[in-house]
Amino acid sequence: MTPADAHHRSLHDEGVARQTTRAVLQHRYGAPDVLEVSTIPTPSPGPDEVLVRVRAASINARDWHVMRGEPRLARLLDRRSFGLRRPRVAIRGTDLAGTVEAIGAEVTRWQVGDHVFGEGVGALADQAIVPAHQLATIPDGLGFDEAASLPLAGTTAKLIVDAAHPAPGNTILVNGASGGVGTFVIQLAKARQLHVTAVVSPRNVDLAKSLGADRVIDYTVDDFTLEGAQHDVVVDLVGNRNLRELRRACRPGGTLVLSGGGVSGTGRLIGPLRLLIWAQFYGAVRRWHVMVPQAVPDADALERVAELVAAQQVTPVIDRHFRLENAADAIRYMETEHTSGKVVLTT
C-alpha cells in the first residue's frame, strides 16, 4: 500500500466512524441478556436538538423497568416508553454527560465542544440526541462520570426535599437512602438543617453516616415501621412497604413522599403503581399529605443541581464503573445489589 493509499484509507475510516456509533439496543422485553451492543447510523439532531458525544452515562431504576417491560400495567399507561412487546425506543439510557458534537439549526445556547450533562434519548451509546433545553453546563472541576450521575437522581432528590417543605429541625426518614436518589436526599436534607434517619442495607451503614445521617437503621435488624417513631417527613425510595406501614412512621399532619421504583423481579403486574395510586387517593380523601413528585428534565432544574454541587452542598456518590460494552452487567448489578449511589458506564 502506497502512502497515498494509506492516507485515503485513513480518511475513509474516519468518515465511516463519524457516520456510525455504538449503542446498547434491545428488541424485546426481558432480563439484561436481551441487551446487545450494536453499530448503528449516527443520529442527526433536529432543529432544537443537540448531538452529544457521550463520555459517561448512568443507570436508573427506570432503565430496568423499560428493559423488562415491568410493571406490565405500565405498558398500557405509558405508551411513550412502552410498547406491548418491546420498548418504543430501542436504545436504553437517558442520563449522560459529554461534549457537544453537533447542534440543530435553531439551537443558539450551545456550541460544538461545550461540556454538558442532562437527559437525552438513548444515552447508552457513543453519541446521543438530547433536546437543547434538557442540558446544562458541567460544573467546574466535576468529571464526566460524576456529572452523568446528576440528571435524574439529583433533580428528583431536590424536588423531593422541596416538595416536603421542611423547616429547620424537622425530622426526615429516608427508606432506600443509599441509592442514587437517596444519597442526594441525605445531603440536601442536612443542608436544610434536618434531622435525618437513613434506612439502608448492612453494607451501606457507613456510607449513610459519612453523608451526614444522624441515625442509620439497618433494615435487616430493625423495622422502621414498628418503632413508633413519628417523623415530620417520610421518604420512600424503594416501594417495598405498604401504605399502612409507612403511615406508622409518619406523625399526624406529616408528609409522605413516594418515589420508589420497586424491586426488580417483584410486583411484575402492578409493582409500585399500586402504592402510588392508592396513596394519592387516600391523601385526597383523608386530607393526608402525600407527595408523588415527578422530576422534569429541564435546564433550570439541572442548573440548580449544578449550583448545589459547585457550592459543595452535595457530592455525587458512584458505586461502580462499567464500560459501555458491559451494559448488561451494569444493569444486572444494579438489580441484584444494594448499590451505594450510582452505577456509571463510560465510553
pLDDT (tens digit, 9 = 90+) per residue, 84-119? 788 888 999 999 999 999 999 999 999 999 999 999
**pLDDT tens across 181-220, in order?**
999 999 999 999 999 999 999 999 999 999 999 999 999 9
* pLDDT score recorded for residue 15: 42
Q: What is the pTM of this model?
A: 0.86
Average pLDDT value for residue range 234-261: 86
Residues of the chain with CATH 3.40.50.720: 153-291
* Spatial separation of the C-alpha atoms in residues 192 and 133, rounded to whole Å: 28
Which pLDDT does position 241 carry in this prediction?
85
Q: Provide the percentage of residues in the chain whose pLDDT is more than 90.
A: 65
- Does 311 have pLDDT greater than 80? yes
Whether 152 and 298 have beta carbons less than 8 Å apart is answered as no
The per-residue pLDDT for 244 is 81
- pLDDT of res. 281: 60
Q: At what angle do helices 151-164 and 299-310 cross, to 10 degrees?
A: 90
CATH 3.90.180.10 domain position(s) in the chain = 17-150+316-346
CATH class of 17-150+316-346: alpha beta
For residue 135, what is the enclosing H or E element?
strand 135-137
Q: Which residues pair with 98 in a beta bridge?
A: 54, 116
Stretch 5-9: mean pLDDT? 41
Tell me the CATH architecture of domain 153-291. 3-Layer(aba) Sandwich (3.40)
Checking if the pLDDT of 83 tops 70, the result is yes
Place of cell 451492543: 37
Mean confidence (pLDDT) of the chain:
87
Q: What is the pLDDT of residue 190?
A: 97
- 172 vs 190, 204, 257, CA distance in Å? 10, 18, 10
Least confident stretch, 14-18, 78-82, 96-100, 209-213: 14-18
Q: What are the distances in angstroms from CA 121 to CA 108, 160, 167? A: 20, 24, 37
pLDDT at 70: 76
Return the pLDDT at 39.
Answer: 96
How high is the pLDDT of residue 291?
79
Alpha helices (H) along the chain: 3-19, 61-68, 74-77, 144-148, 151-164, 180-191, 205-210, 243-248, 273-286, 299-310, 327-336
Whether 295 has a pLDDT exceeding 70, the answer reads yes
Say yes or no to pLDDT of 7 above 60. Answer: no
The per-residue pLDDT for range 252-294, each reduced to its tens digit, is 888 989 887 655 554 465 555 555 666 666 655 455 678 777 7
Report the pLDDT averaged over residues 124-135.
Answer: 97
Q: Do residues 292 and 284 lie in contact, with contact meaning Cβ atoms separated by under 8 Å?
A: no
Please state, in angstroms and rounded to a whole number, the distance separating the CA atoms of residues 10 and 237: 51
In the chain, the amino acid numbered 304 is R
Which residues 6+ apart lie within 8 Å of 13 measured at CB? Answer: none
**Tens of pLDDT, residues 141-179:** 999 999 999 999 999 999 999 988 999 999 999 999 999
Q: What is the pLDDT of residue 85?
A: 85
Alpha carbon distance 134, 124 (integer Å): 17
pLDDT number for residue 6? 41
Give the whole-number percent of the chain exceeding pLDDT 70.
Answer: 84
